[in-house]
Amino acid sequence: METDHRWLVVEDGFAPARANMYETIFTTGNGYLGTRGALAEGHAGALPGTFLRGVFDHHDSAVTELVKAPDWLALAVVVDGTRLNVTSASVVQHRRILDMRDGSLFRETVFEDSDGRRTRIETVHFASGADEHLCCLRARITPENHTASMTVHSGIDGTHYNLDRRPVYATPPPDDPQMKWHKWARSKHLDEVARVEIAGGVYLETRTIDSGITIGYAARTTVSPPVSPTVEQRHRLVEQVFHTQVPPGDTLTVDKLVTIYTSRDVAAASVRQACLDDLHRHTEAGFPACRERNREAWREKWADSDVTVEGDADIVRAARFNIYHLLIAANASDPRVNIGANSLTGERYRGHAFWDTEVFMLPFYIYTQPATARALLLYRHHTLDGARRNARDGGFRGARYAWESADTGVETTPQWTVDGAHRIWMGEEEIHVTSAVAYGLIAYVAATGDEAFMTDYGAEILFETSRFWVDRLEAMPDGRYALSRVVGPDEFHEHVDNSAYTNYLVRWHLRQAAHVYAGLAVTHPPELAGLSERIGLRPDEVEAWLTIADRIRLPAGNDDGVIEQFDGYFGLENLPVTVDDNDMPQYPAGYHHYNLAGSTLLKQADVVMLTYVLPDEFPDPVKLANYNFYEPLTLHKSSLSPAIHSIMGIEVGDPSRAVQYLRRAAFVDLLDNQGNTEEGIHIASAGGTWQILVAGFGGFRVRNGRMTFKPWLPPDWNAIAFRLKWHGNTLSVRVRHTSATFLLSGPTTAHEEIVVNDEPITMPVDKEVVIDLAKTGS
Ligand code: IFM
């Protein structure tokens, strides 16, 4: 195992109160699946879960949700009649280590039963980074002071339901049966299809109830010294059971290989065979070879993705933790899926994708894993028909992307909070997500030069969504166009008119669409003609986009350049804000998420966010004025908020809180500073953390088609280093206080022009360029 602590996340000792949080943090995965780091033997209060990308179902849940798939980790050890777990035996020693370098989770626990028998269990498991259908576990079980009559159960457990356990809220929700709490909370999605013994192993097949997705798991467990297993089974559970005697100090080694396929991968009738074929292949190779292949795959991922900071080891570890979670959240192999707001690590937000993907996470993938970025954007094309339906359902033309998007792209935002107490309006009103999709695809094409993506997919998205905007905009008597009844990024304020964020983005969106149309007319006339014919798009419609864009009503700025967040915002009540020990703002006494609409307080970055996503629309003094005005009013009740404030603080020349905001974002889950990590990783904050490092401290932006840098380092850091993919090449960047070093590496030989502190620099391929930052006016 890795020994450098900057690659490790460690849990020392078992604390029931933190068990669910660690399950989330210790999720292992590979983009195809995510498996929470629950203790394999289970315990009261545990929330295990494996989630398979794209496996959604509705059935008796409030809305379509990501299904809790069968648990492949399940492994129980019975010693002299006691099934060892944290409640049946005392825990003498417990330590778990997530090795982020190769995505594996180590565990070492010593149990002592009521007769003083001590048994040590050590495990390592991972979801293979080399083969997305493979999961591996090795356990070493050692009776330390006794001869163990030992039974090991190893199998596939499909008995779990979504939200088996109530989520923990600060104030427990009322148990009013009218609220159908139990129905809302605990949902069944799987029917059993088959459970069988296979050669040397077991196989479980289930099917989702509404969506009809077949899910197959094949598992083979072997033990050493060898023992022949029996097979035990009951509804939705099948396991191999090994009975043996183990002398004191001897170790029983258990290897478990599991293969997983669904009918999303192969035809339903072939799922079982696909599992068995893979299992056979991996069994031939054996656990050590599977592990080595996994390590090799992770070496490649990190070579492109790592960010290091010299001078702050804690930040390096936290940065890697966030990048690790981004790396297990998605991969390039499925263009029909996106990343849920809690990735594949938990049930919060039901696996639904938000604007989080394009605005917070996509930059990481664009610049480090562009094939994955492409797959994520292809999902938006795959769900374009769903977006068309959303527009149609609202009475509009074109396509409107869902605020919460699952498998089809049809709006899946629940209309009520889970306790039934509050109406959720985001599905109807948080329409800025549609421009986030445009934002993501424009950035992707600019960075990769993937014009085929634009002609084959991106243009259709841009054109259909522009149609939605012009229909959704309302013509006013003065000839301007307004957008009423929306929610901007700040979700404390619903039903607002002319949200600055939304309206600026819509204007930008329409102009981009028209620009792309004009560009394709020159570079790809046949493709444009084909697309126009297919969607019935006329040139005069495109001209209208530009005319309307020019007339969109943009909220006025005050004398200092502060942009009013929406119509009437400046007239709202100012409430005092207090901060906690960590200097983070608190709700004023008596206030909470649902009663702050009459105040100027913000849930999260809104106008400041606008100045970040559209950097060229606002001069520096306007950015500064808005940062100074809105930052003290922002409560950061969304984990998406701190990252943007860190970046914009640096950009406007007030980096005093940049490191604090970085820590808030980077440690949101490691320290559970939003209090809900047990329900899943804040994956948008993970993307935001990467952006702080690269766009904040590294000062990276794309401007006029070029990579530009305006770095700034905190005094106690020595350097920051990262890599960016650009048009197929890689730019390695290392920034120090006084200098910055750039190296552009192939495969292409084309030089690039980059801009550092406003100075253009020509970068040859494979030749390091060192810039004296003092001379560039930094
Ligand atoms: O998309 C976010 C939103 O901005 C704030 N509430 C949570 C959502 C999912 O992360």
User: pLDDT tens across 258-303, in order?
Assistant: 999 999 999 999 999 999 999 999 999 999 999 999 999 999 999 9
Residue 454's CATH number: 1.50.10.10
Rounded-to-integer distance, Cα 302 and Cα 288, Å: 21
CA of 682 from ligand 1 middle (Å) equals: 10
Nearest-CA residue for atom 7 of ligand 1: 638
Gyration radius from the chain CA atoms: 27
Residue 112's CATH number: 2.70.98.40
Mean pLDDT across the stretch 547-567? 95
86 lines ligand 1 (CB under 6 A): no
pLDDT at position 746, please? 87
In this prediction, residue 168 has a pLDDT band, given cuts at 50, 70 and 90, of very low
Please check whether residue 409 is in contact with residue 387, taking contact to mean a CB–CB distance below 8 angstroms.
yes
Query: Do 659 and 755 share a domain, yes or no?
Result: no
Query: Do 350 and 435 share a domain, yes or no?
Result: yes
Query: Do 599 and 469 share a domain, yes or no?
Result: yes
Nearest-CA residue for atom 4 of ligand 1: 489
Residue 714's CATH number: 2.60.420.10
Place of tokens 């906690």: 580
Q: Which residues pair with 755 in a beta bridge?
A: 708, 760
pLDDT at position 44, please? 86
Query: Mean pLDDT of all residues in the chain?
Result: 95
pLDDT at position 736, please? 98
For the chain, count helices (H), then strands (E).
20, 29
Please check whether residue 350 is in contact with residue 406, taking contact to mean a CB–CB distance below 8 angstroms.
yes
Give the mutation target among 425, 491, 610 for probing the ligand 1 site: most ligand atoms within 8 A of CB. Answer: 491
Query: Do 379 and 462 share a domain, yes or no?
Result: yes
In this prediction, residue 185 has a pLDDT band, given cuts at 50, 70 and 90, of low
150 lines ligand 1 (CB under 6 A): no
491 is known as an active-site residue: yes
Query: Do 667 and 680 share a domain, yes or no?
Result: yes
Q: Which residue among 678, 697, 716 closes a domain?
A: 697
Q: Would you say residue 169 has pLDDT above 50? A: no
pLDDT at position 421, please? 80
Query: Do 428 and 561 share a domain, yes or no?
Result: yes
Query: Do 295 and 426 share a domain, yes or no?
Result: no
Angle at 380 (CA atoms; ends 511, 65), nearest 5 degrees:
135
Q: Would you say residue 5 has pLDDT above 90? A: yes
Please check whether residue 455 is in contact with residue 524, taking contact to mean a CB–CB distance below 8 angstroms.
yes
Query: Do 686 and 765 share a domain, yes or no?
Result: no
* DSSP string computed for 598-652: TBS-BSS-SHHHHHHHSGGGS-HHHHHHHHHHHGGGB---STTHHHHHHHHHHHT
Q: Would you say residue 183 has pLDDT above 60? A: no
Query: Do 686 and 717 share a domain, yes or no?
Result: no
Task: From 775, 747, 748, select the one nearest 761 (Cα to Cα).
Answer: 775
| One-letter-per-residue 3-state SS of 288-331 | HHHHHHHHHHHHHHHHHHCCEEECCHHHHHHHHHHHHHHHHHCC
360 lines ligand 1 (CB under 6 A): no
202 lines ligand 1 (CB under 6 A): no
CB atoms within 10 A of CB 19: 20
Q: Which residue among 259, 284, 304 closes a domain?
A: 304
Q: Would you say residue 167 has pLDDT above 80? A: no
Query: Do 75 and 206 share a domain, yes or no?
Result: yes
pTM of the complete model beyond 0.85: yes
Which of the following is catalytic: 205, 239, 429, 491? 491
Q: State which residues form the domain around 714.
A: 698-778
Query: Do 395 and 514 share a domain, yes or no?
Result: yes
Query: Do 196 and 185 share a domain, yes or no?
Result: yes
- Domain tally for the chain? 3
